[in-house]
Structure 1
Amino acid sequence: MRKQALFPLLILFAILFCFPLYSQQQKKYIIADITVEGAVFADPLTIISISGLNKGESISYPFDQKLQKAIKNLWNRKQFSDVQIIADKISGELIFLVIKVKEFPRIAEIVIKNNKAISKEDLMKVINKNRGDIISPYEVYQIQQRIKRKYKDEGRPFARVETELVQSETPNYYRLDIIIDEGVKYKVNSITFFGNKYFDNDDLKGAFEETKTK
């Protein structure tokens, strides 16, 4: 019983002990300067503007809602695979911030292989990407799924699509390779109805306008 009574007191003591340490670590600073590292295509001044951080404003470090919001603002651009905001230097009440970003690559070229049933022009409409566009791993996955749906609509539900991003000679530009196995096109041999009492089979078959027997 005594151990059970002491346990809540120990938790309370730990909270009270840690709170002053947390308060000491959290200090207010004035932003003296903001720089950007890692930008390849994005303009550093634009990155700073999007972040919402400004020289001369007060922030707590290392945790502040303004810093979290700045990171979120940059994430929402869907242009970066990594965003960090750190202190490069602290001098008295002044803090010098660095926004570190890693940009998603851009498309150098789109290469489609083994497509016969669907033309490259039609597939490019499905891909909906061009040279110079930003491309993320999730967008590559979406492209893959859209191509599969296109083949399914064309009567090839077993088509397989593989994708690969290949580094080009230009820094941060990648070639998007799309390798297709079109599979076998299925055919409807016959349509059979069961339990139809009020309609003829021919009338029901007429409802399948796009499904014809071979």
Structure 2
Amino acid sequence: MKRLLLTAVLSALMIAEVHAESFTISDIRVNGLQRVSAGSVFGALPLNVGEQADDGRLVDATRSLFKTGFFQDIQLGRDGNVLVINVVERPSVASIEIEGNKAISTEDLMKGLKQSGLAEGE
């Protein structure tokens, strides 16, 4: 709950700095993608080209992108009528190696890690 509140407050501060008034989005540009596809970003984004962007909708957009779990930082900016989204992806885990386990099988440990949000490639 605290994390969601902090995200909303920080998002509002970033947006207030750049977006004093609403504008019609002529294009959307996403910077910083490395492993996450642009399609994943646009699929989670509640804004589209041609729509009006105001502070409330931009806060909602930031919140929606954070909820994907792919990003550790998201900043929205504006270049004319172009919505610019700068992201920093969360680091991914290349591989998980478990050694010395005797009481619990490796398969069960891997399932537990995955349920906790830690898995290869995530």
TM-score by length of 2: 0.68
Which residue identity is paired with 1:69? D
The answer on whether the counterparts of 1:34 and 1:48 sit within 8 Å (CA) in structure 2 is: no
TM-score by length of 1: 0.42
User: How large is the Cα RMSD of the aligned pairs?
Assistant: 2.4
Superposed displacement of residue 130, structure 1: 4.2
For 2:98, the equivalent position in structure 1 comes to 112
Q: CA 1:122–1:50 in 2, change beyond 3 Å: closer, same or farther?
A: closer
What secondary structure, in the 3-state scheme, does the structure 1 residue paired with 2:110 have? helix
Name the one with the larger strand percent. Answer: 1
Matches within 5 A, 1:74-93: 74-87=65-78, 89-90=79-80
Which residue identity is paired with 1:28? S
Superposed displacement of residue 48, structure 1: 2.4
Separation in structure 2 between the aligned mates of residue 126 and residue 46 of structure 1, nearest angstrom: 26
Which residue identity is paired with 1:70? A
The superposition leaves residues 146-195 of structure 1 with CA deviations (integer Å, 9 ceiling, x where unpaired) of xxxxxxxxxxxxxxxxxxxxxxxxxxxxxxxxxxxxxxxxxxxxxxxxxx
The superposition leaves residues 92-142 of structure 1 with CA deviations (integer Å, 9 ceiling, x where unpaired) of xxx11111112222221112244344343332232235432x1xxxxxxxx
For 1:97, the equivalent position in structure 2 comes to 83
Q: CA 1:131–1:26 in 2, change beyond 3 Å: closer, same or farther?
A: closer
Separation in structure 1 between the aligned mates of residue 21 and residue 104 of structure 2, nearest angstrom: 62
Unpaired runs of at least 5, structure 2:
1-15
The answer on whether the counterparts of 1:35 and 1:44 sit within 8 Å (CA) in structure 2 is: no
What secondary structure, in the 3-state scheme, does the structure 2 residue paired with 1:46 have? helix
What secondary structure, in the 3-state scheme, does the structure 1 residue paired with 2:22 have? strand
What secondary structure, in the 3-state scheme, does the structure 1 residue paired with 2:36 have? coil
Q: CA 1:117–1:98 in 2, change beyond 3 Å: closer, same or farther?
A: same
Name the larger-Rg structure: 1
Report the number of matched residues: 102
For 2:43, the equivalent position in structure 1 comes to 49
Which residue identity is paired with 2:96? I
Say whether 1:67 aligns with 2:58: yes
